[in-house]
Structure 1
């Protein structure tokens, strides 16, 4: 079996999309399709099945995914051991700004404990932007939020959406509710706006921003209430008002690029995620 084809196959398994797999592997979608056709011919099994508009793995595809991860891990491990002439290990890590103060510090510590001579470059952006950078090969790792039904990445922790505000301003009683939210690609933005619209509650967006610290600053001054992740609110009080729209639960995961040049293995990443969860339980 061709190793590049196995990497492309794993890129599809991870992303669930030939389009995103092609972006990660820096190939055209037709080239990925040809690789998958040749891979199926080589093993004599059908790997994909179309269910409605969704392309899923067959039972044989699921079995191959397990073997492919082991094969690619062995190749990456061998290459890493044979090319240790350069001591410095460079990793490009992406993290949403709203988790920069809660998730990032313990994660950075674990990465340095697990990888010697680590040089870490950090980019802060939204989850969707980070996934795009990951697909383009501009990041090695990214911390993103996923829906509970997704299998992408390795789980770091669970989080939930929370309405926050300051106690000295009774903004909830105002005829037009002033709010601040993250950018449109944030699921808390969508849930807050859609929820208020369904309630037919008048509201005004005082500001939207990709910066959690900017939103917290506006909220602390009593200009608005905000919708954000519980891990992002820091010392801001949570508003337990049953009349405010429900904000969704999310899972925070770390996801790895499928590019050959990535300096961290899936085994290392799984180990780091496991220790992150354990440290969170003990804290």
Structure 2
């Protein structure tokens, strides 16, 4: 078995997609598919099964993943020890702005506990951009909202969407309803807008922003009500209004790219998530 093929396998496990795995390991999709077929030939086992339109690991595939992580960890740690003795570990971490005050500090604390000489670089970006930069190799680790109907990443927290105001509950009764949301890729944006349309309720979108600070300032000023994660509401007042659409539950996860899997073991990743 080739180490590169095992790294491609782990990239598939992490992303759930041959296409994204190929981007992370800098190969074509067909080249990664050939690597997977070669692994099956070497082992004489079927490593993948079809589940509807999705490709899933078989029982033997799951077994191989466990051994592959150990092999790659030992292989890369050996290379790193020889090539870069006394060199600081650099990790580029992506985190959505709305988790910067709550989730991020705990992950950073755990990172420095694991790697005291860590060179940590943080970028605040939306979850979809973090995934893109993981695939392109611009980031190593990401804190993201788990994609709908996905099991990606290591679960570190669960949360729910809430409606918030500055304490003036009359805002929620205005017509049109003044509203501020995160940008269109946000689960709460989609749920809020779609829910209001289904209710045939008139609303005015005061602003969309990728910044939780901007949303807070607009809501505090009494210009709008907002839809966001409970973790992000800070000192804003949660609206308990049955006439407003329900907002979804979310899962927050840690995800790595194929490169990061070479220097972050599964045990270390689990330790990073143990702050919750």
TM-score tier by shorter-chain length is: over 0.9
Residue 263 of structure 1 deviates from its aligned partner by 3.9
Structure 1 residues not aligned, in runs of 5+: 278-283
| 1:185-232 Cα shifts (integer Å, max 9, x gaps) | 111111111111111111111000111100110000000000001111
SS in 1 for 2:238: coil
Name the structure 1 match of 2:30: 30
Name the structure 1 match of 2:194: 194
Name the structure 1 match of 2:121: 121
Residue 261 of structure 1 deviates from its aligned partner by 8.1
Task: Tell which deviates more after alignment, 25-34 or 149-158.
Answer: 149-158
Structure 2 CA distance, aligned partners of 1:271 and 1:188? Answer: 29
Per the alignment, do residues 246 and 260 of structure 1 end up closer, same or farther by CA in structure 2, a change over 3 Å counting?
A: closer
Task: Tell which deviates more after alignment, 168-177 or 131-140.
Answer: 168-177
Residue 215 of structure 2 is aligned to residue 215 of structure 1: yes
Alignment of 1:154-173 (within 5 A): 154-168=154-168, 170-173=170-173
Residue 76 of structure 1 deviates from its aligned partner by 2.8
Structure 1 CA distance, aligned partners of 2:163 and 2:155? Answer: 24
Name the structure 2 match of 1:144: 144
Residue 12 of structure 2 is aligned to residue 16 of structure 1: no
Structure 2 CA distance, aligned partners of 1:241 and 1:29? Answer: 48
Structure 2 CA distance, aligned partners of 1:195 and 1:140? Answer: 36
Name the structure 2 match of 1:5: 5
Per the alignment, do residues 25 and 78 of structure 1 end up closer, same or farther by CA in structure 2, a change over 3 Å counting?
A: same
Number of aligned pairs?
276
Structure 2 residues not aligned, in runs of 5+: none
Residue 260 of structure 1 deviates from its aligned partner by 6.1
Task: Tell which deviates more after alignment, 137-146 or 101-110.
Answer: 101-110
**TM-align CA RMSD:** 1.7
Tell me if structure 2 keeps the 8 A contact 1:97–1:211. Answer: yes
Alignment of 1:250-269 (within 5 A): 250-259=250-259, 263-269=263-269
Residue 84 of structure 1 deviates from its aligned partner by 4.5
Name the structure 1 match of 2:52: 52
Per the alignment, do residues 56 and 262 of structure 1 end up closer, same or farther by CA in structure 2, a change over 3 Å counting?
A: closer
Structure 1-normalised TM-score?
0.92
Tell me if structure 1 keeps the 8 A contact 2:141–2:260. Answer: no
Per the alignment, do residues 157 and 148 of structure 1 end up closer, same or farther by CA in structure 2, a change over 3 Å counting?
A: farther
Residue 78 of structure 1 deviates from its aligned partner by 2.7
Structure 1 CA distance, aligned partners of 2:67 and 2:149? Answer: 24
Structure 2-normalised TM-score?
0.95
